[in-house]
Structure 1
Amino acid sequence: MVALITGGSSGMGLEYARQLAERGYDLILVSNRAEELSSAREELLAAHAVSVTTRFQDLGTADAADLLYAWCTDELKVLPDVVVNNAGFFFFKELETADLDRVQAMLNLHVTTITRTCLLFGEAMKRRGSGRLLVMSSMAARIPAPGITIYSATKAYLQSFGRSLSFELKPYGVSVTTVCPAAVATPLYRLSEKLMRVGVRTGLIRTPRSLVRRALRGMFRGRRLVAPGLMNVLLPPAIVLLPGPVEAALWKRLK
């Protein structure tokens, strides 16, 4: 059994690697952070009797998925049993033309790369008759808000794409699970350690281990959507119901 994890060198990606290794999966980790990849590989090899292959690659380019698929199938001669589409990034600010390159990178990474990865690996899994695809969306998919304009839009796309694709692939023995976590204690959001600890203690922020445990349990049960936590139930409707002037005032203070 083999699992491919994008963004697998740190944060939730590394936690997916740990928990899949605990289940006996050999690992393929992909990241654009060479030092973290090396450290993750050493950690996983020391803790688990599995093989760990790493690939240093920028997944934020238009052809990233095609290059990754070709590398797996042509060079490694491997079609993973599980593909975890975890790689992503986040920024919070008012959009300007100076942000166009960063916006394009996010569109490439969150939309183009994940779409093509799912289609390329999914088609091969269809021919084999088995496989599991996991797509990391976010609670932000349900919160169109200033400051996270591109992030929330791309995550909304992933939620819709993952759910729709799951219906198309299920008859061929391939499951697609979309995960929509609320806040998670990772470096992605760049919160201070103090705020992170307070969030975890109060339950507003989940630990990577608990989130990944829920996500994998849902994936192996063939669930289409995993959206754990009370915040997922309460926060999106509350924000959507905010009057426009209130949202504008909050944005003015935050930016």
Structure 2
Amino acid sequence: MNTSAGKTALITGASSGIGLELAKLFAKDGYNLVLVARSDDKLQQLANRFNDDYGIETTVIGKDLSEEDAAQDVYNQVREKGLTINVLVNDAGVGAYGKFANETEWEREKALIHLNVLATTQMTKLFLKEMVERNEGKILNLASLVSVTPFPLMAVYAATKAYVYNFTQSLINELKDTKVTVTALLPNATNTDFFNKAGATNIRATDQVDDPAMVAKDGYKALMAGESKVVPGGLVNKMYEVMAYVAPQEAVAAMMRYNNEPKAEPKEQKKEEGSDKAANSSALAWGLGIAAVAVAGVALAVAYSNSSVVDKWRYKYKLGKLKWKASRGYAHASDEAVDLVSEASKAVSNGLDNLRQTVARAVN
């Protein structure tokens, strides 16, 4: 039975990237769609394709959500069409690259704040009220891994995503006695048009980007399960999140600054670049090592509760060893810790996937 039949999902930023991939997933599951973005023509092409391929009804609303009261206008159009929004996806967002003091423009940052913060908040305010009245609904807010880390050279963008993440977690608590759920999606750098629009096409972070289809799939799964947050991808991305909590913020900021800098530097800066690279690589290794220790420690604790007496003593010894290495800043603990995660997972009847889910919940 298709429980999504007759339900409608509204997706902002639906014309490309993660928003587009999420729209595909909703369409495949039979949701009717309301697609919101600035490009009317592109949205209409997508609507025609979705309607033909999946037999759903797709409504297009061309709107620049960085404009004043744009969210209210979207809401009014939805009401005029007599549509009920069962799922709201606040995906639209932009970045701005450069040093805040003297390289970025205020008008652009003001529009960024309006889109990432005000539009997301107002869209949520308008549609959440109806969801609570029906005691039914889901919201997915696009945060970012940088919502929990410093992000030099994109300081305002990171600050807006920190707002989105905090806002989402607060709403989850307020809604705990209802059947309405809110989920924060925290992707790492993703292969979308984000860096191009932000003016950051040549930074190191673009060398390692995740697939937007993968990000959307993990986000969609978490949304449907009513989870509070999801960090898409493998264990490495999850260790980045843990590192943000356990490593000194100065070290995290230095690492993120390095990832955000241009790939090619002038010749006269080569020596300095090499020094910075070594320092930041060391910080990364140290931070990921500590994060891996934390993740492996939780994994061992989970395995411990599902083990025999003999195995429990063995896990106690390994957990003590991890603590000893962590206390000494053991930079190469990551390799051993990841091995321990794998080993500990064998003691959990449902395998590594369930173990990682437990680890993710435990470190919330």
| Percent identity over paired residues | 28
Residue aligning to 2:107:
101
Partners of 1:140 and 1:252 in 2: CA distance: 12
Counterpart check, 1:227 vs 2:236? no
Deviation at 1:10, TM superposition (A): 1.2
Per the normalisation by structure 1, the TM-score is 0.87
Counterpart check, 1:215 vs 2:219? yes
Partners of 1:115 and 1:61 in 2: CA distance: 14
Partners of 1:251 and 1:40 in 2: CA distance: 34
Partners of 1:247 and 1:15 in 2: CA distance: 30
Once the two structures are superposed, residues 90-141 of structure 1 have per-residue CA deviations (whole angstroms, 9 ceiling, x without a partner) of: 2211234861111111111111111111111111110011000110000111
Residue aligning to 1:33:
39
Mapped contact 2:150–2:252 kept (Cα < 8 A): no
CA distance 1:51–1:247, change in 2 (3 Å)? closer
Deviation at 1:205, TM superposition (A): 2.3
Counterpart check, 1:52 vs 2:58? yes
Counterpart check, 1:176 vs 2:182? yes
Query: Which deviates more from structure 2 when the two are superposed, residues 19-28 or residues 32-41?
Result: 32-41
Any residues of structure 2 matched to 1:79-90 within 5 Å, and which? 79-90=84-95
Name which of 58, 65, 76 aligns with 2:71.
65
Partners of 2:248 and 2:63 in 1: CA distance: 37
Partners of 2:158 and 2:128 in 1: CA distance: 25
Residue aligning to 2:251:
242
Any residues of structure 2 matched to 1:96-175 within 5 Å, and which? 96=102, 99-175=105-181
Partners of 1:144 and 1:170 in 2: CA distance: 30
Query: 1:77 is paired with a residue of what secondary structure?
Result: coil
Mapped contact 1:139–1:232 kept (Cα < 8 A): no
Partners of 1:151 and 1:243 in 2: CA distance: 17
Deviation at 1:209, TM superposition (A): 1.2
Larger relative contact order (CA 8 Å, sep ≥ 6): 1
Aligned-residue CA RMSD (Å): 2.8
CA distance 1:217–1:250, change in 2 (3 Å)? closer
Per the normalisation by structure 2, the TM-score is 0.62
Deviation at 1:72, TM superposition (A): 1.0
CA distance 1:249–1:62, change in 2 (3 Å)? closer
Q: Which residue identity is paired with 1:187?
A: D
Count matched residues.
247
Query: 1:45 is paired with a residue of what secondary structure?
Result: helix
Query: 2:138 is paired with a residue of what secondary structure?
Result: strand
Partners of 1:56 and 1:243 in 2: CA distance: 39
Stretches of 4+ moved more than 4 A in 1? 246-255
Mapped contact 1:79–1:121 kept (Cα < 8 A): no
CA distance 1:17–1:52, change in 2 (3 Å)? same
Structure label with greater radius of gyration: 2
Deviation at 1:86, TM superposition (A): 0.3
Deviation at 1:232, TM superposition (A): 4.0
Partners of 1:207 and 1:158 in 2: CA distance: 22
CA distance 1:34–1:241, change in 2 (3 Å)? same
Once the two structures are superposed, residues 26-79 of structure 1 have per-residue CA deviations (whole angstroms, 9 ceiling, x without a partner) of: 000000122321222233223211111100111012312211112112x11112
Once the two structures are superposed, residues 149-192 of structure 1 have per-residue CA deviations (whole angstroms, 9 ceiling, x without a partner) of: 11000000000000110121232211000101001111112376
Mapped contact 2:33–2:57 kept (Cα < 8 A): yes
CA distance 1:45–1:97, change in 2 (3 Å)? same
CA distance 1:42–1:192, change in 2 (3 Å)? farther
Partners of 2:97 and 2:151 in 1: CA distance: 10
Q: Which runs of 5+ in 2 are unaligned?
A: 1-6, 266-364
